[in-house]
Amino acid sequence: MRFSTRLNELLRIDYPILQGGMAWVADAQLAAAVSNGGGLGIIAAANVPPEILDQELVKIRTLTDKPFGLNIMLLSPTAEDALLLAERHKVPVVTTGAGAPGKIIDRLKPSGTVVIPVIASVAHAKRVVKQGADAVVAEGSESGGHIGETSTMSLVPQVVDAVSVPVIAAGGIADGRGIAAALALGAEGVQVGTRFVCAAECTAHENYKEMLLKAGDRSTTVTGRPTGHPVRCLKNKLSQAFEELERTSAGLEEFERLGAGRLRKAVVEGDVEWGSVMAGQVAGLVKDVKPAGQIIEEMFEQAREVLGRLAR
């Protein structure tokens, strides 16, 4: 059953849920499964070579006729290529992360592309809305991957008070209770990453999924703070090596050398000891692998139950 906020109209979806643009994880297969399940599936451009991303954008149209998105990671050297591909393929929705999306908004808005920056502070939210963003994802520090400093519980209501476009809450949401909480904070939708890594359609390595299924409430840590790009991931040998670098106040080159290629190593090769197993603090809530459509249905069913109980 449909669950409606302003986002449903903006994105032409049945459930106000976006799948996070997870580098190496969010491909056409996962994104199509989420879109077919009534949410907004998102392909991650990340550092994907343009010719491969081009193929993914062709592929998703063969897998779904529903709207979908492309996430452009602004730190990436391939961000400009991703922007060109978004234009060429007339991607309905573009989300951005890890930087200032002014240029992306300028280039994509005239053609009617919905642009939704992921932000981690009130100042950044205000700036992108002034630049023409259609909505914002307010991403709290519970999230996996590259994070800001403020938790979802504190960030979302402050962003809601600061802007008039729809706010999508991200970070710490893996079930219907999280959706209900996000709505209570004033969000009109949610973005979910970690839970969808254990979608049946997700092509991440089995070892990555296994490690997530075994994770608990204290399984994640944040590495790389000295680089200015802190990253939340599951604790393993790599995160311990990063902690050692921090203790010895190593130079930035040493962080870069240790970090290079680590996400691919975990997601594609399944090296969950020495790869970067990015995941949010809700890792401990992920207990099974099931189809993305079922994950969405069950999340909104539970949200409805919780909201009904609270209303009584």
Interacting residues toward ligand TUI by CB under 6 A: 23, 73, 75, 97-100, 118-120, 124, 139, 145-148, 229, 231, 278
Q: In whole angstroms, how close is the CB of 306 to ligand TUI at the nearest point?
A: 27
Q: Return the number of the residue (219 or 223) whose C-beta is nearest ligand TUI.
A: 223
Q: In whole angstroms, how close is the CB of 127 to ligand TUI at the nearest point?
A: 7
Q: In whole angstroms, how close is the CB of 227 to ligand TUI at the nearest point?
A: 8
Q: In whole angstroms, how close is the CB of 99 to ligand TUI at the nearest point?
A: 5
Q: Which residue's Cβ lies closest to ligand TUI? A: 145
Q: Return the number of the residue (215 or 306) whose C-beta is nearest ligand TUI.
A: 215
Q: In whole angstroms, how close is the CB of 297 to ligand TUI at the nearest point?
A: 26
Q: What is the DSSP string of the chain?
A: ----SHHHHHHT-SS-EEE---TTT--HHHHHHHHHTTSBEEEE-TT--HHHHHHHHHHHHHH-SS-EEEEEETTSTTHHHHHHHHHHTT-SEEEEESS--HHHHHHHGGGT-EEEEEESSHHHHHHHHHTT-S-EEEE-TTSSEE--SS-HHHHHHHHHHH-SS-EEEESS--SHHHHHHHHHTT-SEEEE-HHHHTBTT--S-HHHHHHHHH--TT-EEEE-GGGT--EEEE-SHHHHHHHHHHHTT--HHHHHHHHTTHHHHHHTT--TTTS--B--GGGGG----B-HHHHHHHHHHHHHHHHHHHH-
Q: Return the number of the residue (58 or 123) whose C-beta is nearest ligand TUI.
A: 123
Q: In whole angstroms, how close is the CB of 213 to ligand TUI at the nearest point?
A: 21
Q: Return the number of the residue (71 or 113) whose C-beta is nearest ligand TUI.
A: 71
Q: Return the number of the residue (229 or 304) whose C-beta is nearest ligand TUI.
A: 229
Q: Return the number of the residue (38 or 280) whose C-beta is nearest ligand TUI.
A: 280
